[in-house]
Structure 1
Amino acid sequence: MALDLHRIRAETPGCHDLAFFDSAGSSLPPAPVLDTVIGHLRREAEVGGYRAAAERAADLAAVKDAIGALIGAPAGTIALSDSATRAWCDFFYAVPLRAGQRIVVTGVDYASNAIAALQRARAAGAEVVVLPSDADGRVDLDALDAVLDERVALVSLVHVPTNSGLVAPVREIADRAHAVGAPVLLDACQSVGQVTVDARELGVDALTATGRKWLRGPRGTGFLYVRPELIERIEPRSLDLHSAQWVAEGEYCVASDAARFETWEADVAARLGLGAAVRYLLELGPDHVFAAITRRAAGIRERLAALPAVTVRDPVGGALGGIVSFTVDGVDPDRVQAALFDRGVVVSVTRRGSTLRDMTARGLTAAVRASAHAFVSDVDVDRLVDGIVGLDVRPRS
């Protein structure tokens, strides 16, 4: 059954006045998410946060069930967090690291992950090694054997980078990493909600994602998945009375499931909103939503590539997701963004500092990023393209 675009737009209040192309940044939540979050905040105002949370205990537990249904994982393997970055760091800093070992990363690493890897490597006397890649940022699978060996403590992968539609061949890399005994941590911040993500099929040991992007949930939400066989073998760097129990003087017991990566204090309204967002996606049918996002992105790339002053910066060929990055000759990306916003079109700018290795390798300091969710219409795309055509650009030499 095809998606009902009229229904989706009717349930997305924010898309009525704006042509919105920033779901890779912070997407527009549907009405059920708004109602859930606002309703719980009102209940907290009536009876206090503790009682309001107690009343929704079963619903809070069901958030993990919904996430598990989406990514093919048991609820006990999922820890809720306040961001993808926090979830990623909670796992990353728990992985043992010794002098002489390696942290293997990709050329499209996001700045937060790259900084954490450099910090830990410096402190431990370890080394950060970048997987070889081609000019578009694709990992060179044929060159993996030269990098992956018994010195590797962790392989950190990015499923979809922040600055292009590239989709990484995660399973192929994970299998080779496991062959040398290295665990794999997947940053799925830009993939969960826009492409199929099955934790078991991907073969990763841990996976992190956010609620505010393609899942269309509230800000301040995220989650961590940890492979069941690994959970009890890895202890987080910090614990509290939720992630562990104080059972005797000088003794504590860590939670047996992924809750060991959680803390007691949380934004309950936001987490309930995250659950509503995931259930909304499941109700629409993830495969239908993912297909709509991919088709829309492909159409945008085609139309932008036809404009004489525009260069699409996404890879050519291969699997591509919903992020479309481009530049306009003679026009700074910030100016493109501002001019489009004046026309009611929302895009974002991806900067060199966010993906330093990749942008430097491609000779880019910044690019415009258009990321269209399933609620984007043909009229919205026309507004995007017309807005770019209306820019004052100089012809290519």
Structure 2
Amino acid sequence: MSLAQQWRSARPPVAGVHLDSGACSRQSFAAMDAAAQHARHEAEVGGYVAAEAATPALDAGRAAIGALTGLAGSDVVFTTGANAALDLLLGAWPGERTVACLPGEYGPNLAIMAANGFAVRALPVDDAGRLDVDAAARQLAADPPAVVHLTPLASHRGIVQPLTALAAVCADLGLPLAVDAAQALGHLDCSVAPAAIFGSSRKWIAGPRGVGFLAIRPDVAQRLRPRLPPPEWNHPLPVLARLEHGEANLAARVGFSVALGEHLAHGPARVRDRLAEVGRMTRSAVADVPGWRVVEPSEEPTAITTLVPTGGADPKTVRERLIAEHGIVTTYADRERAPFEMTAPVLRASPHVDTTTDDLERFAEALAAVSS
């Protein structure tokens, strides 16, 4: 059975065409059943007894994250999502607060950096918005920030950033690299063992909403000073235990852990190859739709296709009509996603491995119909 068939048979039938995995993928029966079973167990034996019983499943989820990031399961804490993870990390950061990141950095990340008192420096990029590694290495060596931050795959554009190359540069310079893997985990190879890496459950891993992770290399974790409890209390809890909020939706964490296990079982490289293939299929299908321009090169190895209107269409209205009239779910991305780079809203298609040629032909026809 092909990966697409395995993925499709493990889920409820889709109502229409789902091209929105960059926002929220479709969960499997196994992930949903595991979360529901934990919720039932809480009702049967009490939430805290059920939490103890869920320890092996959650440890397996942490180990899976470790395997995908180059870190260890013991380096991982669960969070409520990627934004919460970055806030935890930066809120506990010691000393100088300067961060180097791409000009196209995700808007909510920039807001969290500002809220935690970090001054932002822009890394050099080429005309496509891709990091210029050599120029970045020179800049970072000449004026090192407290932390380097990279989002290997952005929310507003499916361009792959050179994560491995930047990780090597940061290692050579002794600079900590923090990685926002919200779009990258399960989509790109993230196993670079950075200083910290964080992400969410609901995108390409296809777990529940409302859960994410933060993984921190031990040498970096030892330097952090979490806000709670106050550092001056000299609380005996280790840093990671102070970062992971215990009063949480454990059912979602269990579902996330199951989804991670499914991803590993499918084979991360196999999934990456199929996502790249689906991206090529999507760009080919919409390349000639009047009134739209595809941002990504046709061979870009991601499943994200970004469409810029060239004939006056409003991406927000187009998304709404695609859902209402054709049952096709896409993403409307406004300028706030990358406020220092985007100049106008775009439409994003982000299919998963089960998307077919027929699905994409249907999308192209519907896009043309609602854009006229």
TM surpasses 0.5: yes
Deviations 1:129-168 (A, max 9, x none): 1112222211222322135435511111111000111111
Distance of aligned partners of 1:310 and 1:146 in 2 relative to their CA distance in 1, 3 Å threshold: same
Matches within 5 A, 1:175-186: 175-186=168-179
Between the two proteins, the alignment pairs up a number of residues equal to 369
The offset of 1:282, in angstroms, is 1.1
Matched, 1:137 2:134: no
Query: Which of 196, 201, 207 is equivalent to 1:206?
Result: 196
CA contact (8 A) 1:70 1:278 kept: no
Work out the CA distance in 2 between the residues paired with 1:65 and 1:175: 24
* 2:3 and 2:354 in contact (8 A); partners too: no
- The residue aligned with 1:327 is 308
Q: Which amino acid aligns with 1:306?
A: D
Match of 1:46?
Answer: 44
| 1:114 aligned residue | 110
Mapped partners of 1:55, 1:176: distance in 2: 43
Corresponding residue for 2:71? 73
Deviations 1:24-54 (A, max 9, x none): 0011101101111112112222332122222
Deviations 1:92-126 (A, max 9, x none): 2222243xx632111121111111223344xxxx6
Deviation of the 1:86 alpha carbon: 0.8
Secondary structure in structure 2 of the residue aligned to 1:327: strand
Per-residue Cα deviation, 1:291-331 (whole angstroms, up to 9, x for no partner): 111100111112211223220122x3775312111034221
Give the secondary structure class of the aligned counterpart of 1:73: coil
Between the aligned partners of 1:199 and 1:175, the Cα distance in structure 2 is 9
Q: How does 1:1-397 map to 2 (within 5 A)?
A: 3-15=2-14, 17-98=15-96, 102-121=98-117, 127-144=119-136, 145-200=138-193, 204-239=194-229, 251-255=234-238, 258-314=240-296, 316=297, 319-328=300-309, 329-341=311-323, 342-360=325-343, 365-393=344-372
Q: Is the Cα–Cα contact under 8 Å of residues 24 and 162 in structure 1 kept in the other structure?
A: yes
Offset of 1:85 from its aligned partner? 0.9
Moved more, 291-300 or 281-290: 281-290
- In structure 2, the residue corresponding to 1:185 is in which secondary structure? strand
Scaled by the length of structure 2, the TM-score of the pair is 0.92
8 Å contact from structure 2 (residues 164, 192) kept in 1: no
Which amino acid in 2 is paired with 1:133? V
Instruction: Letter of the 1:253 partner, please give it.
Output: P
SS of 2:342 mapped into structure 1: helix
Structure 2 gaps, min length 5: none
Q: Which amino acid is the alignment partner of residue 158 of structure 2?
A: G
The CA deviation at 1:281 is 0.9
Q: Distance in 2 between matches of 1:251 and 1:238?
A: 11
Structure 1 contact 327–367 (Cα < 8 Å) conserved = yes
CA distance in 1: counterparts of 2:59 and 2:43, whole angstroms: 22
What TM-score do you get using the length of structure 1 for normalisation? 0.86
Contact 2:315/2:332 (CA < 8 Å) preserved in 1? yes
- Aligned pair in 2 of structure 1 residues 229, 110: CA closer, same or farther (>3 Å)? same
Aligned equivalents of 2:316 and 2:233: distance in 1?
56
Q: Which amino acid aligns with 1:9?
A: R
Q: What do you get for the CA RMSD once the two structures are aligned?
A: 2.2
8 Å contact 1:105–1:129 — kept in the other structure?
yes
Residues in 2 aligned to 1:132 and 1:74: alpha-carbon distance in whole angstroms: 32
Given that 1:3 and 1:284 are in contact with CA atoms closer than 8 Å, whether structure 2 keeps it comes out as no
Q: Which whole-Å CA distance do the structure 2 matches of 1:225 and 1:149 have between them? A: 28
CA 26–104 in structure 1, closer or farther in 2 if over 3 Å, else same = same
Distance of 1:141 and 1:58 partners within structure 2: 41
1:82–1:222 Cα contact (<8 Å) kept: yes
Cα distance change, pair 195–36 in 1 and its aligned pair in 2 (3 A): same
Report SS of the residue matched to 2:284.
helix
3-state SS of 2:2 partner: coil
CA contact (8 A) 1:3 1:289 kept: no
- Where does the alignment leave 5 or more consecutive residues of structure 1 unmatched? none
